[in-house]
Amino acid sequence: MALAIFDLDNTLLAGDSDYLWGRFLAAEGVVDADYYESENERFYREYKDGTLDIREFLRFSLRPLREHPRAHLEALRERFVAELIAPIMLPAAKDLVESHREAGDTLMIITATNAFVTAPIAQRFGIAHLIATLPAEEDGRFTGEPAGRPAFREGKVERLDTWLREHRENLGGSSFYSDSHNDLPLLERVDRPVAVDPDPRLRETALSRGWPVISLRP
């Protein structure tokens, strides 16, 4: 079976779940709205520009997990997914996932957004395999730090290589769908890289290399 890998934010979703989670927490009064909104915007710009310091961003984005009881966070997450994520799950993305499922491919989401936020989203797509940045835990509480290598840029490749070894799989016949130039390290590893509603830098690269460029947006 071939591996069909999907980026999540701005690929299967018509938006960025990490960014929207921050805005949701601010709107709920869980974090200081003015400060969080300003920093959230800054990090999002840096991500798009390719200048994001992932460790700095994770110290920012994982802090609310450390500061609040898990049960409260899980209740917030349930509302967040229902209210903000479900409406931006692209119908064409669901169809794409189902086409690979019907072909017998192994489905995977790989995303820099942390697993606390993305695990229920992967479940909604019916995708069992998720590689995401892992929030560290101690005694059942989040520490506010990442565990291991964040699934970002080259980190996605490293984390995927670990998964391949553990599951005795390989990248023969593999596909990877992404919107972002930040994913070029992984796009260059698979047999079939696909640019999905790509940012300008990825679009230029895809066209120059003859990669498929598709849209899942209405």
7 flagged as catalytic: yes
Taking the C-alpha atoms of residue 107 and residue 131, their distance in angstroms, rounded to an integer, is: 11
Catalytic residue among 9, 18, 179, 199: 9
Exposure of 146 in the CB half-sphere (CA atoms within 13 A): 21
Q: Please give the C-alpha separations between residue 203 and each of 50, 179, 213, in angstroms, as whole numbers.
A: 15, 9, 7
Catalytic residue among 7, 105, 183, 199: 7
Phi, psi of 189 (to 5 degrees): -95, -25
Which tokens go with 159?
């984390």
Largest Cα–Cα distance of the chain, in whole Å?
50
Which tokens go with 53?
């310091």
Taking the C-alpha atoms of residue 174 and residue 189, their distance in angstroms, rounded to an integer, is: 9
Taking the C-alpha atoms of residue 148 and residue 166, their distance in angstroms, rounded to an integer, is: 16
Taking the C-alpha atoms of residue 80 and residue 114, their distance in angstroms, rounded to an integer, is: 15
- Gyration radius of the chain's alpha carbons: 17
139 flagged as catalytic: no
- Catalytically active residues are 7, 9
